[in-house]
Amino acid sequence: MVEVNVEQVGGGPGDATHASWLELSASNLRHNVSVFRSLERAGATPRAVGVVLKGNAYGHGLAQVLPVVHGSVDVLYFIAPQDALFARAYEQANGLAPRQMLVLGAVGAEESVALARAGVDAVVADHGWVEAVPLLRAARLERPLRVHVHIDTGLGREGFTLEQLPREAHFLTESRDVLQVVGALSHFANTEDVTEQGYALAQLDAFETGLAFLAAQHASDAPLQRHIAASAATLVLPQARYEAVRVGIALYGFWPSPETRLSARLVLGELPVLKPVLSWRCRSQVVKWLPAGSYVGYGCTYRCPEPTRIAVLPVGYYDGYPRLASGKAHVLVNGRRCPVLGRVMMNHLIVDVTRATSDERPVTATLLGRDGEESVSAESLAGWAQTLHYELVTRLGAHLRRVVVE
């Protein structure tokens, strides 16, 4: 009888040989952290290097990325409270010194109590937080919850606008017993979209105005930890680095955009090298010949003009391979480009391996990453699918096996 693990039902391909996997390069992750360490050393004061682990560590896998970066960074940023609690539990289980952690996303009143107990910082971004105050008081905490005030300086997402700040953030001064304001943050709207940072500079001005208000309101407290820079601003707007930077996409070895790359060369003099961390591979399910004239895949959108050796790969849009890349993408087999034929299916991808292999034995395909002289970047695959590398990697299935390699 076959044993069924109910927790895994529906999770993904059950057959480990016929499932794709992600390889994460620990040395490239460490290298990318060191790029930001050396940037920060170049500043006047030592700053905190923080890394953003939201979205399952940008699809790379929180459980795999956390152990590699934990020892070399100062702050860990999350969106979901449960991810921060997972990271605290990881520290405790391994006897590690606790890192500063901050949940950037929305926090429910009950979750705020859990964060306070775990010593995880939270972001107060709106007046709704008054509801958490009675709950926090009732919890009789040993220490208040450490919070960072989010100022909306022009993204139009979360945070108090400069108009709201004096009116709506007032409850913080009356809740000092349970909410300790330790920081202030904001987030840029378009630093990676442009090479001319006029809008970002206006956001910085607004941030300064908000900071001045908060500093006056919390004059008796320790100076606030100020942070506004994500990857792009950290690289191209040195004046935005303040006490901490929140490095997301660049931690994983990607430039936020071509514009950021151009600007970084000008601002930093030389271009730091970012090394992609992730490769995505699979073994073929079947390799076989199709006669000339055969159709391939749903909709019969592809017809082989000549006898074609195809490989059926156990990867599809369920796993995060974008269907929009149909007819445009290629994968790598034995260091050669192999075009994706016909449509990307839910669990299958068909590629032309006529010239990449000489027989019908199984092959290993690289969907993302390097194979010999060739590589497929997340930017390329995202481009074929008319999206961003950010979206592509964060949509890699949580069910995929992730292995950390050196």
- The answer to whether residue 54 is catalytic is yes
Is residue 187 close enough to count as binding ligand PLP by CB under 6 A?
yes
- What's the closest the beta carbon of residue 342 comes to ligand PLP, in angstroms? 34
Secondary structure (3-state) at 185: strand
Residue 104 binds ligand PLP (CB under 6 A): yes
Nearer to ligand PLP, 250 or 381 (CB): 250
Give the residue at shortest CB distance from ligand PLP: 248
Give the nearer residue to ligand PLP in terms of CB position, either 8 or 34: 34
**Segment interacting with ligand PLP (CB under 6 A) among 24-32, 195-203, 245-253, 325-333:** 245-253
Determine if 246 is a binding residue for ligand PLP (CB under 6 A): yes
Distance between CA 65 and CA 83 in Å, rounded? 12
| Active-site pick, 54, 199, 295, 328 | 54
Min separation Cβ 231 and ligand PLP, Å: 3
3-state percent breakdown (helix, strand, coil) of the chain, nearest 5? 35, 25, 40
Phi, psi of 275, rounded to the nearest 5 degrees? -115, 120
- Among residues 256, 272, 276, 397, the one that binds ligand PLP under rule CB under 6 A: 256
CB of 53 to ligand PLP, least distance (A): 10
Q: Which of the residues 30 through 89 are near ligand PLP (CB under 6 A)?
A: 52, 54
Interface with ligand PLP, residue 200, by CB under 6 A:
no
Which one among 56, 153, 231, 354 touches ligand PLP, defined by CB under 6 A? 231
Question: Is 20:314 a contact under the CB 8 Å cutoff?
Answer: yes
How far is the C-alpha of 162 from the C-alpha of 168, rounded, in Å?
10
Report the residue from 84, 189, 230, 311 that binds ligand PLP according to the rule CB under 6 A. 230
Cα-Cα end-to-end distance for the chain = 39
Near ligand PLP by CB under 6 A, which window of 226-234, 235-243, 379-387, 395-403? 226-234
User: What's the 3-state SS for 116-167?
Assistant: HHHCCEEEECCHHHHHHHHHHHHCCCCCCEEEEEEECCCCCCCCECCCHHHH
**DSSP count for the chain of H helices, then E strands:** 12, 20
Return the structure tokens found at 307. 């006898």
**Amino acid letter, residue 255:** W
In the complex with ligand PLP, the residue whose CB is nearer, 230 or 349, is 230
User: What would the two tokens of residue 179 be?
Assistant: 């909410």
Q: Which two tokens stand for residue 206?
A: 């607004």
Sole window of 2-10, 125-133, 247-255, 346-354 interacting with ligand PLP (rule: CB under 6 A): 247-255
**Residue 389 within binding range of ligand PLP, rule CB under 6 A:** no
What is the footprint of ligand PLP within residues 117-176 (CB under 6 A)? none
DSSP-derived secondary structure letter, 59: T
Residue 231 vs 279, nearer CB to ligand PLP: 231
Active-site annotation holds for 328: no
Out of 154, 183, 210, 248, name the contact with ligand PLP by CB under 6 A. Answer: 248
**Nearer CB in complex with ligand PLP: 82/301:** 82
Residue with tokens 């430039």: 255
Pick the catalytic residue from 58, 77, 252, 298. 298
Q: Which residues touch 286 (CB under 8 Å, ≥6 apart)?
A: 311, 312
Please give the structure tokens belonging to residue 124. 């107060």
Q: Looking at 62, 247, 329, 332, which residue binds ligand PLP (CB under 6 A)?
A: 247
Question: What does DSSP assign to residue 111?
Answer: H
Identify residues 299-338 at the interface with ligand PLP (CB under 6 A): none
- Per CB under 6 A, the segment of 240-248, 275-283, 326-334, 376-384 that binds ligand PLP is 240-248
Tell me whether residue 391 is exposed, middle or buried, using C-beta atoms within 10 angstroms of its C-beta: 0 to 12, 13 to 18, 19 or more. middle
| Residues near ligand PLP (CB under 6 A), total | 13
User: What is the separation of C-alpha 146 from the centre of its chain, rounded to a whole number of angstroms?
Assistant: 24
Q: For residue 402, give the H/E element and its range.
A: strand 401-405
Active site residues: 54, 298
Query: Which residues here bind ligand PLP, judged by CB under 6 A?
Result: 52, 54, 104, 187, 230-232, 246-250, 256
